[in-house]
Amino acid sequence: MAQERRKYSRVAFHAPATLIFPERTLEAVVLDLSLKGALIRLPAGIVLTDQAPCTLRVRLNEMSTEITMSARVIHAEGRYAGLLCLSMDLVSAIHLRRLVELNLGAPDLLDREVGALVVDLASSRRAVVLLSGGIDSATCLAIARDAGFEAYCLSLDYGQRHRAELNAACRVAQALGAREHRIVRLDLAAFGGSALTDKNIAVPTEGSGDGIPVTYVPARNTIMLSLSLAWAEILESRDIFVGVNAIDYSGYPDCRPAFVAAFEQLANLATKAGVEGRRISIHAPLIELSKAEIIRRGGALGVDYGITVSCYQPDEQGRACGLCDACRLRREGFLAAGIDDPTPYGFG
């Protein structure tokens, strides 16, 4: 039976909910809920109009975080209505996914089982966050914290050209309230093959040209995610956050959605947690955002970008060169966001 329940992509139960329309607010009961939408039961005498936009808030119990989705009515008949989900915030999506994974997709779900679920959710709020010290990873950490996670930050000292970004990672972890921050030493300079790990390869300062640039560090994100996966298992965490981006980026192959999806599949095939049904999720909340959108999002969450470092070759004081591809993307991002660039530049 448990194996059959894992096939479900929804949960069926009776949970109180609020429907918020532009002109009125209604109390209702959710009978079926998924990432695609919901089936609700309305109070007697209430009539809904098809295509009407609304916000659905589902309460698991008085102590829980709500599951919230923006939706529209797609079918209403008598006291029942179907809602099509238009969008859902990260916390709600995680909670709903957990509902499904905890084998609660059955019509006879009792209130006490929902209460037990809330206890389980409360005990699984640890997340490992990969933290490099740059704009993207700082914003990713802020998003994880805003979603209610205890953040366990992991940085990698991989033999990069400078220590400035690791120093920045320490500042960011402290400023954004990380529960713990660890720096793991793994010298990829032993292999070289990148301008970031081999000082005999110059960092391009006039654009990266076509193809994958020489600043690509072979398998770096795969290695970092593997280390974060190992720590997540020890922490009994089921959530890993990584700030990869596939819009305003340098063309690295390990920043694409396909890579993130493939690694999540690997994580659940190659770990004790995954085999035992405690699914691990790889969150890449920035992957489809422009650099300007990332900066705006982080700014709204209180990120101080003045303490971050993006430059591939900063000077000894941590000041950016202003010439490399990372500096170019950073500078253009602030310009497009309409926000003053707090980056200290040493030259260029």
222 exposed, middle or buried (CB, 10 Å; 0-12, 13-18, 19+)?
A: middle
Query: Where residue 258 falls among pLDDT bands split at 50, 70, 90?
Result: very high
Report yes or no on 43 lying in a domain: yes
Quick check: is 255 in a domain? yes
Is 301 a member of any domain?
yes
Q: Verify that 154 and 240 share a domain, yes or no.
A: yes
Q: Nearest 5 degrees, angle CA 344-CA 316-CA 294?
A: 40
220 and 108 in a common domain? no
Can you give the CATH number for the domain in which 285 is found? 3.40.50.620
Interval 119-145: pLDDT, tens: 344 445 789 999 999 999 999 999 999
For residues 137 and 78, state if they share a domain. no
CATH, residue 77: 2.40.10.220
Q: What angle do CA 285, 290, 293 make, to 5 degrees?
A: 75
pLDDT at residue number 174: 97
Tell whether 345 is covered by a domain.
no
For residue 347, being part of any structural domain is answered with no
Report the Cα–Cα distance between both ends of the chain, in Å, rounded. Answer: 65
Domain that holds residue 320: 126-337
Q: Are residues 109 and 192 in the same domain?
A: no
pLDDT digits (tens, 9 = 90+) for 287-344: 989 999 999 999 999 999 999 999 999 987 889 999 998 999 999 999 999 999 999 8
DSSP letter at 320 equals B
Q: Which of 170, 164, 157, 135 is nearest to 315 (CA)?
A: 164
Please tell me whether residues 85 and 189 are part of one structural domain. no
Backbone region of residue 45 per phi and psi (left: phi > 0; alpha: psi in -120 to 50; beta: other values): left
14 and 154 housed in the same domain: no
Report the pLDDT averaged over residues 248-275. Answer: 88
Q: Are strands 239-241 and 281-283 parallel, antiparallel or unpaired?
A: parallel
What count of Cα atoms within 13 Å lies in the side-chain half-sphere of residue 2? 4
pLDDT value of residue 300: 93
Q: Give how far Cα 301 sits from Cα of 69, 147, 268, Å.
A: 21, 11, 31
Q: Are residues 43 and 107 in the same domain?
A: yes
Residue range 28-85, pLDDT digits in tens = 888 888 888 888 888 878 888 888 899 999 876 544 567 899 998 988 877 788 888 8
Q: Torsion angle of alpha carbons 84, 87, 89, 91, nearest 10°? A: 40
Q: Are 24 and 49 in contact (CB under 8 A)?
A: no
Indicate the number of domains in the chain: 2
Amino acid 249: pLDDT: 65
Same domain, 171 and 298: yes
Does position 8 have pLDDT exceeding 60, yes or no?
no
Cβ contact 9:38 at 8 Å: no
Return the structure tokens found at 58. Answer: 């589902």
The larger pLDDT score, comparing residue 163 to residue 211, is at 163
The answer to whether residues 100 and 186 belong to one domain is no
Q: Provide CB contacts within 8 A for 26, sequence distance 6+.
A: 18, 19, 42, 43, 46
Contact between 66 and 16 under an 8 Å Cβ cutoff? The reply is no
* Longest Cα separation, the chain: 76
Please report whether residue 80 resides in a domain.
yes
**Same domain as 147, residue 110:** no
Domain boundary, last residue among 97, 122, 147: 122
90: left (phi over 0), alpha (psi -120 to 50) or beta: alpha
pLDDT at 102 (0 to 100)? 58
Q: State if pTM tops 0.85.
A: no
- Domain end (from 90, 122, 154): 122
Q: Where in 186-339 does DSSP place strands (E)?
A: 239-241, 281-283
Clarify whether residues 261 and 150 are in a common domain: yes
- The average pLDDT across 201-218 equals 79
Q: Which of 89, 122, 155 is the last residue of a domain?
A: 122
Q: Kindly state whether residues 37 and 139 are assigned to the same domain.
A: no
pLDDT (tens digit per residue) in 148-202: 788 999 999 998 988 899 999 999 999 999 999 999 999 998 888 888 888 888 8
- The answer to whether residue 346 is domain-embedded is no
185 occurs within a structural domain: yes
